[in-house]
Structure 1
């Protein structure tokens, strides 16, 4: 399988508010950058969506390492939180619903297909690819005619 390295970031001005994601995909000297902006979203939704969009852009099954400054994303996937929430009917515990189940469903399906590892990087700490993703996400959130963040029903 191809080894692909992906960096992702999400940004939001206000939470909720206008937001965006940025992605840098690296494979054997090739580079692809992706970004989009959304109105009325959250930072966590943009963090998850960045990783989803990156994985959806792969044309075949790959070994993927996703670098993100979102501990929420890393922990939900690497510690199995998202699978647990799904098994519990999208509840974090007996009283609290898990947030963003529409995105977690997509993420879990993509991770059944691809071999994915999530690695945390400290944000705004000088990692050039993380900084580029942040720049892409912030610029996307400032664009006119932002997309609606349509939260899917589960």
Structure 2
């Protein structure tokens, strides 16, 4: 999916393409002619000063985290899967992390008009903050 990666502790605007269903004309009219939606996304580390190990785990999992967030938000903005105000993504198999997403009204974005070339984009109603935390690091890990 994504040819980019969402960074840790930074905010990005994410362009999500409008999804075509059975009736493409009806889909575009419901989006007001927009070809997609712009959503504000932030991934924050739970700890104020993440350890080198936490940063390494995020870097290893960054592509999968980006893909998971993009997939969730595609469904959300295209009304196929309206998400609750809080979502949890948990990975326990290998490195272990939890990602807790919270959405809030994006009032700043509602005042902006975005375009892809000459095509209008819809501003997302919500902004998302995802909190990243490792789950398998030893509690007594010391920073080096």
Larger Rg: 2
Q: Quick check: which one's helix share is greater? A: 1
The TM-score, its normalising length taken from structure 1, stands at: 0.24
Query: Going by fraction, where is strand more abundant, 1 or 2?
Result: 2
Higher RCO (CA-CA < 8 Å; seq separation 6+)? 1
